[in-house]
Structure 1
Amino acid sequence: MSPSISRRRALAAAAAAGLGLPAAASHAAPQPSRRGGQFDQVRVATYNASLNRAKAGELLRDLQTGKDAQIRAVAEVIQINNPDILLLNEFDADEDGAGADLFRSKYLEVGQNGRTPVFYPYSFTAPVNTGVPSGLDLNGDGIADGPDDAWGYGEFPGQYGMVILSRHPILTEQVRTFQKLRWADMPSNLLPTEYYGEHAADLRLSSKSHWDVPVQVGSSTVHVLAAHPTPPSFDGPEKRNQRRNNDEIRLWADYLSPGRRSQWIVDDAGTYGGLAARENFVILGDYNSDPVDGDSWPGAIDQLLTHPRVRDTKPHSAGAVEAAEQGGANADHGTDPQYDTADFGDTPGPGNLRVDYVLPAKSLQIVSSAVYWPESGQPGSELTGTHPFPTSDHRLVRVDLQVRA
């Protein structure tokens, strides 16, 4: 693991107070009241920012310049929404966490297009499975090399990685990661053993990793459960990616079920079991699964949406409704388009889907939720746009919570 604490500790107090947009910026996301009586109001967000590159080191190079157009636009979206805790998916990882530091110092802490800078004194990142060679011929082409033979699909180690940024202290010593958890160890799993043959027992479950990152908010601890399951696409008849996506989602469903259902789970430090029933949590990430549409294994994301400990606040946007009018695959969708979070190809392609989630515990009080997807012509729509997207094909999703101070 390579947790990183920003050198800008002097800015932490100002950050915690909630730096936002100038009052004149009418399209800013409503800024949460950070303290109200016995509660802190906390904005938690997830954003698949598509900050991945084709080769190792390319993202670091772009971050170092401070001038990359896509990264600046991503930073502006974050500055507008001003979350207190943020998970970034598809942020290429590096060994020492330098990328997260550069993103903060060169982009987030610099006002983009007149926005007010944002400051995150705490961050966390850790190794992921994408691009890490398995040494096994997993795709059966006779060669134990390449992105299909990595523990998680990727051209190089760390591609499509994850980063958590926070204004609140991250309890680093209590973090649990599940990078090396074996798929075969999950009871009643969907592992296609005939496809993988003798290698089936060795496969890792998580295509990137699953992290339980406790964050101290006032007198409370909120467990950030972060993941990015593999897309349930690019499959053969064995449906290996659909199956893996389903079981990656199921990992958190089991983790939130203390007792026998979670006793099989073991983290990278060798500790068994799930999350205690008394603990607060919020599930974050791009789970690549829509409740109705797309290629998901039937009921995959419902394992979380209908879990007895989970609350679905159903974040939505007007921009998603407008984007669904593109037609193509969208015309046959069953999910209400206002809940979509990603703008995928329509002809061919799965159309726009709800795949990015902020799912808090029912023990937490909810203030509001939203998907940042302005309608065309509205302020901020230039940051989402249409293909080729200025930022990402995914949209930032946020939920405002009240946590005991």
Structure 2
Amino acid sequence: MGIELQSVTKAYDKNEQPVLHDVNAEIQDGELFVIVGPSGCGKSTLLRMIAGIIPITSGRLLINNQVMNAVPPKDRQLSMVFQSYALYPFLTVADNVAFGLRARKMPAEEIEQRVNDALNMVNLTAFRDRKPRELSGGQRQRVALARAIASDSKICLMDEPLSNLDAQLRVRMRAEIRELQRKLGLTLIYVTHDQTEAMTMADHVMVLNDHHVQQIDTPLDIYNHPANHFVAQFFGTPQINLLTATTMSSKATRELQVAEGFQVTLERPITVGTYTVGIRPNQLVATPVAANEGNATVVNVEALGETTIIEAMADNGKALRIVQAGQVQLPLNQRIAVTVSGKVFIFDEHEQLIAEEGGATSDQFVSVH
């Protein structure tokens, strides 16, 4: 079942700024759609409006081409999985999964079949008679998933379902949720603050910040073509380097001087002004040089085995993040020459992307030398 948001706005007080402003999106039937953003951006509020828990102030919500604004939650044919799991501690695993079905007065035989099928899908059949306190965090989350599966809803809403789990378990549960979503053909809307979950799980991602949608696209297109400063910084670890650059002429020019000590050459002229150059850490190279040379100093090195993260301080006081393949040995306080080896982004004074290497969002193209 597809979902469409048409100019959806939420305001708790007409005299205050909306907590969500003019949200538009089309979520296709059977896709995993991730809503991502920092705390307080409105992502959980949006999920609750889709569920019908919070009313929409203005705009329209369509499910399967039917306007749902006034439809009660129980009639929207969807299920929800919460961060807190929302399990009844005094009920067994099987009874927790069956609770909603019994409330709907389904036949006992059908309830039993649905519970058995759902527990089998999440590998919890052997735990059906245990109480939640006897389960691990991952197993409790699987119970919540089984409850959603047993409801047989075609739309599932998940609100930060993995945030209480440790790192290794989050990785495993990401894969399990994605596998179940595909197997069941669910339309799944998944809220998270974790860009890694968005990158690894989603068909499409909505990025929210400051009460507005910043960008909607596939995970890789968001990473490769960020619409603005915020999106560029939010996606990618370590964060992108955002550096101030100015034109090197009093008229339209192809040369930009980056304050940190290197230049960017554009394939087409750019108007006179100050810009921001965005460079991913893996597009910078640190070369050791003599004490009186270079343009930065090493302040920290993080050896991760396959890669090395180098934190450096440019001569103008700006922190730089550099990622190099392999195990790079650099002592602290080593002087380095930082150069650009690949793609860069050019942002205007409004923090909007205007150009990038190998393609552009306007009539400007970038080539780095």
The TM-score range, normalised by the shorter chain, is under 0.3
Structure of greater relative contact order (alpha carbons < 8 Å, 6+ residues apart): 1
Q: Mark the structure with the bigger radius of gyration.
A: 2
Choose between structure 1 and 2: higher strand proportion. Answer: 2
